[in-house]
Amino acid sequence: MLRKSPWILFPLILVVISCAGFGSSGNTAGSYIFSADAPVWVVSVSAEFPQERYVAATGFASSREMAQENALAALTAFFGQTVQVDTVVASSYQQAITNGVMDGWLDTVEMRSSVRTFALADELFGVEIRDVWLDSRGIYYAVAVMEKARAIPLYNELITANNNVINNLLNMTPNEKYSLNGVIRYRFAAAVADINASYRDIVVLLGDRSSNAIATGDLFRLEAQNIIREIPIGINVSNDRHERIYNAFARNFAAHGFEAATGDVRYVFNVNVNLTPVDLPANPNPFVRLEIAANLYDTTLGLVLLPYTFNTREGAINRSEAENRSILAAERNINEEFGRMLSDYLNSLIPRN
């Protein structure tokens, strides 16, 4: 399921706001007008910019710049009640565009240009400050406007381009699919599908209900989890203490759906544990240093996918208890830090084509 914390408005989706309720925003601004020559939109924004054709909102302030910002914020605030995108999803999508990875999954130059131009716009795409008015008290009023007829095809183009990305991400052989790269591709497809769902919601809010239904991100996340269950991880620990380090790592992999395995497997997690005494002349208690060096290794590609290191120094009334404390510290770090690292690896990587 999609993470329930924290949520943001995807920067490029802020453009499109539903129509209902903007008349009241204009009337609120209008209540501050004392000059007889106030524009129509100050009193009622929908009177000058009909909801059938436009998305519009007003803002006012003691400076022109702030009035314009408030007008754009009025659009943003209303839109935020309807469509939101998870921060991690939005970040991954933006990163894939800025570093050029998205280009590798798009079939045409036109699609690449459309996605890049739209997604990297510095300002709200398709929205313009149509007019600014200064009343007799020195209060500025601004109206932000977007034409629906222009915005709808732009968003539909993005939906088409994102569907192209998803189709290419999922176009794999069975061997490619049932790999960690296959998991990452499905999870990135889920992120793109989430963005597409927000675009689709925008198009519907703008009044276009003709577009076909789109796949949900949760569908691809579920398949990614199904793939994980088919990927065994071989865990090899040298110099372990009663398999405590092995079990700590095995629990983390199991929490993500992987099964520990023995024998000939593609993915192996090699761990070396080193416990050595530490001489502290000023302290009568024995101390030991624990060092762990580990890596997740892809035997097919010959690549280290995820390295992990940990070290600590612990003391106690005897050597055995000092070693026990060091192992406890390692177990805590594996459960917390390595667990986070493994989760980030599976969720944050963006696949290249």
Q: What is the pLDDT of residues 13-56, one digit of tens each?
A: 433 333 333 333 333 333 344 455 889 999 999 999 999 999 99
Q: Do 132 and 78 have their domain in common?
A: yes
Q: What is the pLDDT of residues 291-325, one digit of tens each?
A: 999 999 999 999 999 999 999 999 999 999 999 99
Q: Structural domain of residue 165, as residue ranges?
A: 7-224
> Comparing 63-67, 174-178, 204-208, 209-213, which segment has the lowest mean pLDDT?
209-213
What distance in Å separates the CA atoms of residue 271 and residue 192, rounded to the nearest whole number?
35
Q: Do 116 and 180 have their domain in common?
A: yes
pLDDT at 210: 77
Residue 282 lies in a domain: yes
pLDDT at 352: 82
Question: What proportion of the chain, given as a percentage, has pLDDT over 70?
Answer: 85
pLDDT at 310: 98
Query: Which residues, in sequence order, are CB contacts of 261 under 8 Å at separation 6+?
Result: 232, 233, 234
**Residue in the block written with tokens 């040298």:** 238
Q: Do 162 and 62 have their domain in common?
A: yes
Mean pLDDT on 119-130: 69
- Supply the CATH number for residue 238's domain: 3.40.50.10610
Mean pLDDT on 200-229: 87
Pairwise pLDDT comparison (74 vs 245), residue with the higher score: 245
Quote the distance between the C-alpha of residue 21 and its chain's center: 30
pLDDT at 308: 98
Residue 1 lies in a domain: no
> Comparing 189-198, 209-218, 328-337, which segment has the lowest mean pLDDT?
209-218
Mean pLDDT on 109-129: 75
- The pTM score is 0.78
Q: Do 175 and 110 have their domain in common?
A: yes
pLDDT at 82: 61
Q: What is the pLDDT of residues 157-183, one digit of tens each?
A: 889 999 999 999 999 999 999 999 999
**What sign for the dihedral angle of Cα 325, 326, 328, 329?**
positive
Q: Do 60 and 111 have their domain in common?
A: yes
CB 291 within 8 A of CB 271: no
Residue 2 lies in a domain: no
Exposure of 250 in the CB half-sphere (CA atoms within 13 A) = 13
pLDDT at 81: 58
Structurally, how many domains does the chain consist of? 2
Average pLDDT over the chain reads 85
Concatenated DSSP letters of 168-189 = HHH---HHHHSSHHHHHHHHHH
Q: Do 337 and 301 have their domain in common?
A: yes
Q: Which of 208, 224, 240 is the last residue of a domain?
A: 224
Pairwise pLDDT comparison (346 vs 167), residue with the higher score: 167
Query: In a 10 Å sphere around its CB, with 0-12 CB exposed, 13-18 middle and 19+ buried, how is residue 195 labelled?
Result: buried
Q: Do 117 and 211 have their domain in common?
A: yes
Q: Which of 224, 245, 279 is the last residue of a domain?
A: 224
pLDDT at 36: 55
Q: Which of 201, 224, 247 is the last residue of a domain?
A: 224
